[in-house]
């Protein structure tokens, strides 16, 4: 497991570096304006994707791992995942195009980059290919295949599309095409390699189990992505789209810091599910303590590195007309990331331990706090609105941290059986 964790960590790091390199390329090729639009479009994609995956990112690997001793049941859950995710995504794609004008205003303010939102919607449309294949590899605990697929389907198309595009609007269309080609190849190989086409059609119990676990988690997924997207959208309306783009870039850096912990979920969610099923609680406790120490180290080291090197690194990474503003907005996001990294590292244990989606409650409460404080920021005159909005952003992640720790302590000190 240690080797799998290290390889997965390196893979996640590689994909994140590719994403960061994509921002730099966008800035080099399209200037400060194009960079801001690309940053906001990435935030829009992250915000909208939650409605197309509907919690399947956690549901697919969980049920496939749970039925590790029943291959037919695994394949039935895989088929149910394909049908459910594709159907929901197609409907959502049509809805985005129907509401393209109001959504464009929400994400980009008064600036109207024609065709950019449609490209984002196209990338959402091909996402089920990644969701199902990647979830299956995670569930059967084949991290090498999962890692390779993520690089080929997510990392390379993200960078390659920027090289192939003449405008910001083209990037997401071309990334969609590249991701689809890779995903389609994997689906064909998976289809014949597992004899999936011979699997009996899943019954209603399979769909019911998958949907009852996955769908309630959309509230948590939405709340979490809203916490990391709404601040940049609101700042676009409060100041301008360049300020919104700067904060969106800072949030991307925040997520890069936090998602260095994502291999914990990729490796430990299936592992923790099996350990809890076998009632090996002491081993789960040991894993939790290790993860918590890693989270503190990553969060603290990242904040210190930004304070020491931020003013040197930012001009190299991101073009801007106001680097003081960029440093300030990115710094606020890094501060929030110190708390966010704990949530990302520990949430998988909560998902594995409880059928009830406690992570959903935690992120929803944090979102409510942000919305209450941010509404006050929009009502106040400048310059008072800006610090309140940014303070609301950080405070919501502090609350999320304490709610997560509270539930983790129950597993550490009060747990007897996996029963809530």
pLDDT tens per residue, range 224-282: 888 888 999 999 888 888 888 889 999 988 888 887 776 665 566 666 667 666 667 77
Please calculate the CA angle 16-347-230 and round it to the nearest 5 degrees.
60
Last residue of a domain, one of 165, 200, 215: 215
Last residue of a domain, one of 180, 215, 250: 215
Query: Which of 75-84, 118-127, 394-403 shows the highest mean pLDDT?
Result: 394-403
Check residues 216 and 303 and name the one with the higher pLDDT. Answer: 303
pLDDT at 419 over 50: no
Mean pLDDT calculated for residue range 361-389: 87
Which residues, 6+ apart, have CB-to-CB distance to 142 below 8 Å? none
The answer to whether residues 16 and 30 belong to one domain is yes
Check residues 382 and 248 and name the one with the higher pLDDT. Answer: 248
| Distance (Å, whole) CA 95 – CA 124 | 12
In which domain, by residue range, is 296 found? 216-420
Mean pLDDT taken over the chain: 80
Mean pLDDT calculated for residue range 400-406: 89
pLDDT at 109 over 80: no
- Among residues 364, 367, 387, the alpha carbon closest in space to that of 377 is found at 387
The answer to whether residues 163 and 266 belong to one domain is no
The answer to whether residues 299 and 369 belong to one domain is yes
pLDDT at 364 over 80: yes
pLDDT at 366 over 90: yes
The answer to whether residues 372 and 245 belong to one domain is yes
The answer to whether residues 211 and 281 belong to one domain is no
The dihedral sign for the CA sequence 205, 208, 214, 220: negative
Last residue of a domain, one of 155, 180, 215: 215
pLDDT at 321 over 60: yes
CA 138 centroid distance within chain: 16
Q: Provide the number of structural domains found in the chain.
A: 2
pLDDT at 346 over 60: yes
Check residue 348 and give its pLDDT: 75
Mean pLDDT calculated for residue range 378-400: 87
Query: Which of 55-64, 102-111, 201-210, 244-253 shows the highest mean pLDDT?
Result: 244-253
Check residue 418 and give its pLDDT: 43
| Distance (Å, whole) CA 192 – CA 37 | 41
With cut-offs at 50, 70 and 90, classify the pLDDT of residue 48. confident
Which residues, 6+ apart, have CB-to-CB distance to 260 below 8 Å? 9, 12, 13, 16, 298, 341
Mean pLDDT calculated for residue range 36-62: 78
The answer to whether residues 168 and 247 belong to one domain is no
Cβ proximity of 353 and 276 under 8 Å: yes
pLDDT at 416 over 60: no
Mean pLDDT calculated for residue range 165-177: 90
The answer to whether residues 130 and 271 belong to one domain is no
% of the chain beyond a pLDDT of 70: 81
Per-residue pLDDT reduced to its tens digit, 119-155: 888 888 888 778 778 877 777 777 778 888 888 888 8
The answer to whether residues 181 and 106 belong to one domain is yes
The answer to whether residues 205 and 85 belong to one domain is yes
Check residues 156 and 351 and name the one with the higher pLDDT. Answer: 156
The answer to whether residues 195 and 224 belong to one domain is no
pLDDT at 392 over 90: yes
The answer to whether residues 86 and 7 belong to one domain is yes
With cut-offs at 50, 70 and 90, classify the pLDDT of residue 417. very low
Check residue 369 and give its pLDDT: 93
> What's the burial of 198, exposed, middle or buried (CB within 10 Å: 0-12/13-18/19+)?
exposed
Check residue 196 and give its pLDDT: 61
pLDDT at 395 over 80: yes
| Distance (Å, whole) CA 271 – CA 352 | 9
With cut-offs at 50, 70 and 90, classify the pLDDT of residue 368. very high
With cut-offs at 50, 70 and 90, classify the pLDDT of residue 90. confident
pLDDT at 195 over 50: yes
Query: Which of 180-189, 195-204, 375-384, 397-406 shows the highest mean pLDDT?
Result: 397-406
Check residue 396 and give its pLDDT: 94
Mean pLDDT calculated for residue range 335-349: 86
pLDDT at 420 over 50: no
pLDDT at 415 over 60: no
pLDDT at 206 over 90: no
The answer to whether residues 188 and 225 belong to one domain is no
């Amino acid at each position: 497991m240690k080797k799998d964790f290290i390889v997965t960590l390196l893979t996640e790091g590689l994909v994140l570096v590719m994403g960061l390199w994509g921002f730099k390329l966008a800035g080099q090729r399209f200037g400060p304006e194009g960079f801001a639009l690309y940053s906001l479009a990435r935030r829009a994609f992250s915000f909208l994707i939650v409605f197309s995956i509907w919690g399947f990112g956690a549901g697919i690997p969980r049920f496939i791992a749970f039925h590790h001793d029943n291959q037919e049941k695994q394949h039935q859950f895989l088929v149910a995942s394909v049908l459910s995710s594709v159907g929901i995504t197609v409907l959502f794609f049509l809805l985005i195009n129907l509401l393209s004008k109001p959504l464009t205003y929400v994400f980009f303010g008064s600036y109207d980059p024609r065709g950019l939102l449609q490209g984002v919607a196209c990338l959402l449309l091909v996402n089920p290919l990644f969701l199902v294949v990647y979830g299956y590899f995670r569930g059967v605990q084949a991290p090498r295949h999962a890692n390779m697929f993520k690089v080929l389907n997510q990392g390379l198309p993200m960078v390659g599309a920027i090289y192939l595009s003449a405008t910001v609007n083209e990037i997401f269309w071309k990334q969609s095409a590249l991701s689809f080609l890779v995903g389609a190849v994997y689906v064909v190989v998976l289809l014949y390699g597992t004899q999936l086409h011979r699997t009996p059609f899943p019954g209603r119990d399979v769909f019911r189990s998958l949907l009852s676990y996955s769908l309630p988690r959309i509230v948590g997924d939405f709340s979490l992505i809203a916490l990391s997207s709404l601040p940049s959208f609101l700042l676009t309306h409060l100041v301008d789209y360049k300020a919104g783009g700067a904060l969106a870039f800072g949030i991307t850096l925040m997520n890069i810091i936090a998602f260095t912990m994502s291999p914990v979920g990729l490796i430990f969610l299936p592992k923790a599910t099996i350990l809890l099923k076998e009632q090996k609680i002491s081993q789960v406790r040991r894993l939790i303590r290790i993860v918590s120490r890693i989270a503190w180290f990553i969060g603290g080291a990242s904040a210190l590195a930004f304070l020491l090197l931020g003013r040197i690194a930012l001009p190299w990474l991101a073009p801007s007309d106001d680097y003081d503003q960029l440093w300030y907005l990115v710094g606020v996001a890094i501060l929030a990331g110190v708390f966010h990294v704990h949530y990302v590292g520990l949430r998988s244990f909560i998902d594995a331990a409880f059928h009830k989606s406690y992570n959903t409650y935690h992120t929803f409460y944090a979102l409510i706090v942000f919305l209450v404080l941010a509404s006050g920021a929009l009502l106040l005159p400048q310059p008072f609105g800006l610090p309140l909005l940014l303070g609301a952003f950080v405070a919501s992640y502090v609350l999320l941290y304490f709610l997560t720790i509270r539930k983790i302590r129950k597993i550490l000190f009060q747990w007897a059986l996996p029963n809530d």
